[in-house]
Structure 1
Amino acid sequence: MPEVSIITPCYNCAQFIEETIHSVLAQKFTDWEWIITDDKSKDNSTSIIKKYQDPRIILIESKENVGAGQARNIALERASGRYITFLDADDYWTPDFLEEMVGFMKKEKAELAYSNYARCDENLSPTIADFHADKVVTFGNLLKTCRLSLLSSMYDSQRVGKIFFPKGSKREDHVMWLNLLKKIPEGKPLPKTMAKYRMHASSVSHKKTNIIKDQYLVYKDFMHFSTLKSLYYTAHWAFNGFLKYSKWFN
């Protein structure tokens, strides 16, 4: 079994997937499997992936479009590595990402860890300051803002089990991290920039005002908080989200 399982959903990512593939193949740490679920792409994403005949790359072609969260779940079901990490089909790792993260996890005996990442435009040029992994993450402080990004985080499935993404939420990554942190005391920061996140102008995460209701439902429907408590954490999340992406503060 490989030591690391990389989980990737792919939907119409032909423009970027080749660059993402190159970033994985360039990793100094080589004991990995990469499970990509193509979510019924309408472009030539799958033909690009199939060009790479590396046995560590496993392509699953979904028979229907199920969304990113469930596409990740399909890959997670197949994953056999101890350490689970995520990389979307348009994002990028520097060659030392896996080596540094696995080494940090072992040295710190961490169940969950996260690193800095660069926030870039579609050409991977920085647009605002790097997001810094500068705080220990707990269930309590993750309620107020999601400091964990899929492309720069890793968890130990041998110690915490596989954590799947919920159905019925547009904020499935936040719910997944909260469910994970219910099981462990903390996630540890590795303050080194080793990943690049493409901030598309049309990305859902950029349209904060459009997802206030979805975030409220994270607390109300998935954490089962009261209405007042859900509104309290939604307000904190919205304010911290503004600080996270505002160029005034970055």
Structure 2
Amino acid sequence: MKISPTVSIITPCFNAEKTLENTVASVLAQSYLEWELILIDDHSTDTTYTQAMRYAEADPRIKAVRMETNGGAAKARNRGIEMAQGRYIAFIDADDLWHTDKLKTQIALMEANNWALSFTSYKRIDGVGKPLSNVGVPHKATYKKLLKTNYIGCSTAIYDSKIVGKVLMPDIRKRQDFALWLKLLKICEFAHGIREPLTTYRVHKNSLSSNKANSARYNWHIYRNIEKLGLLRSCYYFAHYATRGFLRSKMPNIALLLGFLHRSSHQG
């Protein structure tokens, strides 16, 4: 008998042939069984889509779709959200991993407490799987707190579409997940953190998150153009973002961040 999915898991894939197998395996290993996995190939140039089709043929809970052109993670994730049949919308990127009880633990807490948005602590590994660090999260995050720093790792997050509806990511090339959490927090007020690390996040040398200046530009873009914050409020939240980034970084580049802030402020 076919089980209707309670959770729809959205995975954008672009040239992920080296990591997708392990990501899918971590979903297949979930102790919570009522899920569907939607693999959206963002017009890869390697064997990613062939792999995705093979997984879909092997398990009816897995769906594979290919974008006609490469449009970026936001477009790919939004395609998955639109296809989703489950009440809960979860995200895992094509190089990340989930703990076996990730869905079981998170969905149980969301159902018991009527949470609209939740996220978890996570572990960080490098490109070859070497442990780097654990990243903790607060019990609660609000819109204003998240503007200062994004506590929510994309592959840790789940939202309840029964409470907030199907909410899509803003169509920007980078930091679209951060923009989505802000969008959701204007609807549901709180995001609830789970202190147990239930996700493993892979950090690549050339990943977007490792490019501090690039991330800074997109944070500023979100403040000014997505959230429509005034200049002073944008400067206030950007200063918090830059300071926290400095404290977390092993090789800080605070001068670059502050220089960008100065130029952006004058550009208005």
The alpha-carbon distance between structure 1 residues 2 and 180, as it changes in their structure 2 partners (threshold 3 A), is same
Structure 1 length-normalised TM:
0.95
Q: Distance in 2 between matches of 1:141 and 1:135?
A: 12
Residue 40 of structure 1 corresponds to 43
The alpha-carbon distance between structure 1 residues 108 and 175, as it changes in their structure 2 partners (threshold 3 A), is same
Q: Per the alignment, in what secondary structure is the counterpart of residue 183 of structure 1?
A: helix
Q: Distance in 2 between matches of 1:165 and 1:152?
A: 16
Describe the superposition over 1:166-210 as per-residue Cα deviations: whole angstroms up to 9, x where unpaired: 123522111111000000120111111111000101111111123
Is 1:204 aligned with 2:213?
A: no
Matches within 5 A, 1:1-250: 1-52=4-55, 53-128=58-133, 130-246=134-250
Kept in 1, the 8 Å contact 2:73–2:173? The answer is: no
The alpha-carbon distance between structure 1 residues 18 and 121, as it changes in their structure 2 partners (threshold 3 A), is same
Deviation at 1:232, TM superposition (A): 1.7
Deviation at 1:123, TM superposition (A): 2.5
Deviation at 1:245, TM superposition (A): 4.2
Aligned length: 247
Describe the superposition over 1:131-168 as per-residue Cα deviations: whole angstroms up to 9, x where unpaired: 11233110010000000111111111100111211123
The alpha-carbon distance between structure 1 residues 6 and 190, as it changes in their structure 2 partners (threshold 3 A), is same
Deviation at 1:126, TM superposition (A): 1.3
The structure that is helix-richer by fraction is 2
Answer with 1 or 2: which has the greater Rg: 2
Kept in 1, the 8 Å contact 2:139–2:195? The answer is: no
Query: Percent identity among equivalent residues?
Result: 37
Describe the superposition over 1:85-132 as per-residue Cα deviations: whole angstroms up to 9, x where unpaired: 10000100011111111111112221111111001112222112x111
Deviation at 1:227, TM superposition (A): 1.6
Note the residue ranges of structure 1 that are not aligned, 5 or more in a row: none
Kept in 2, the 8 Å contact 1:143–1:233? The answer is: yes
Kept in 2, the 8 Å contact 1:124–1:196? The answer is: no
Q: Distance in 2 between matches of 1:124 and 1:168?
A: 29
Kept in 2, the 8 Å contact 1:104–1:190? The answer is: no
Note the residue ranges of structure 2 that are not aligned, 5 or more in a row: 253-268
Kept in 2, the 8 Å contact 1:144–1:237? The answer is: yes
The alpha-carbon distance between structure 1 residues 3 and 245, as it changes in their structure 2 partners (threshold 3 A), is farther
What is the root-mean-square deviation in Å for CA atoms of aligned residues?
Answer: 1.5
Deviation at 1:76, TM superposition (A): 0.5
Runs of 4+, deviation exceeding 4 Å: none
